[in-house]
Amino acid sequence: MHTSRITGGNATLAALSALAAAASLLTPSFAVAHAIAGDYVFPATMGIDDPGVGDEADFLYGHQRVPGDNGDQSINTFNVEWDKLITSRLALSIGGSYAMQNNATARGFDNFSVGLKYLLYVNEPHEFMVSIGADADLGGTGSSAIADNFSTLSPNVFFGKGFGDLPDSLQYLRPLGVTGEIGPSLTTGAGQPNAFNYGFTVQYSIAYLQQHVHDFGLPEPIANLVPIVEVPLSRSQGQTTGTVNPGFIWLTRYGQLGIEAQIPINRASGSHVGVLLDAHIFFDDVAPNSIGKPLFTSADKE
């Protein structure tokens, strides 16, 4: 249930390095990965949230230069988010981030966030899924140098669509997938502007190509790469901001690693190309009978 907009990021660099080392031991099977519609496995994405729910942890580092009142600002962020399954379709998220601006002249924790997400509908034959959710950034919970003193509530709809239902004449387009999210961002601060956030991804699953279209015998890690482009956007006070984020995700059964560039769509969105580095663990696959088990299983109805 992770979302990063322009200045997004997670955890510490040490944790990111440790996870990267551990990921080399991960297996390529997707038997019980958390965001599946039919044969399509949607990875956890960095710029916008994916349509799945799961028991997982996300660690994201982001770097970007953005316009400020006193010229361009260099912003580095380290975010961490933990999602806990309440039932197999409902997840609670808790997240926080540490930000450094202008080479650490301003630093501290941003406001902490909590959220709920519910898997509303899955159509297996057409590889389609929809979820609904809401996140709240809690005003005053972060550093006064970084965080806002007001809260923000963001209800959203999330969707994902694979293309395994295409005819044989278009079989090499079957590994394509698209995901998206849409919803407002409503503030509690007097005179603070609201925003409308939306975005989408276009991805091509090489694992799907290998397993369900044609096995080219590609080696690891190529066999499980997902080339992807994310486009997170936001509109507020008549101004649209956002980035175009091309990159790659290496997806395995137990987790994933990802890297994306952040290309600003206009001057208001940034002044240089930024970067996102991500490490993700699927607890519902690593430890499905303990830490990754839903709190309430009797209520799970697929």
Per-residue pLDDT in tens (0 to 9) along the chain, 302 residues = 665 544 433 333 343 344 334 433 343 444 445 789 999 999 999 999 999 999 999 999 999 987 766 667 889 999 999 999 999 999 999 999 999 987 667 899 999 999 999 999 999 999 999 999 999 999 999 998 889 999 999 999 999 999 999 999 999 999 999 999 999 999 999 999 999 999 999 999 999 999 999 999 999 999 999 999 999 999 999 999 999 999 999 999 999 999 999 999 999 998 899 999 999 999 999 999 999 999 998 655 54
Q: Which of 192, 121, 118 has its CA nearest to residue 156?
A: 118
pLDDT value for 106: 84
Joined tokens for residue 198: 């939306």
Q: Are strands 176-187 and 128-137 parallel, antiparallel or unpaired?
A: unpaired
pLDDT value for 26: 40
pLDDT value for 101: 85
pLDDT value for 70: 67
Residue 286 phi, psi (nearest 5): -70, -45
pLDDT value for 34: 72
List the domain boundaries for the chain.
13-286
Angle, alpha carbons 251-214-163 (nearest 5°):
65
pLDDT value for 72: 75
Residues 6+ apart with CB under 8 A from 27: 252, 253, 254
Distance of CA 230 to CAs 2, 20, 234, Å?
14, 22, 13
Give the pLDDT confidence of 199-238 residue by residue, as tens digits: 999 999 999 999 999 999 999 999 999 999 999 999 999 9
Query: Across 124-172, where does the E strand assignment appear?
Result: 128-137, 152-162
pLDDT value for 58: 98
CATH superfamily of 13-286: monomeric porin ompg (2.40.160.40)
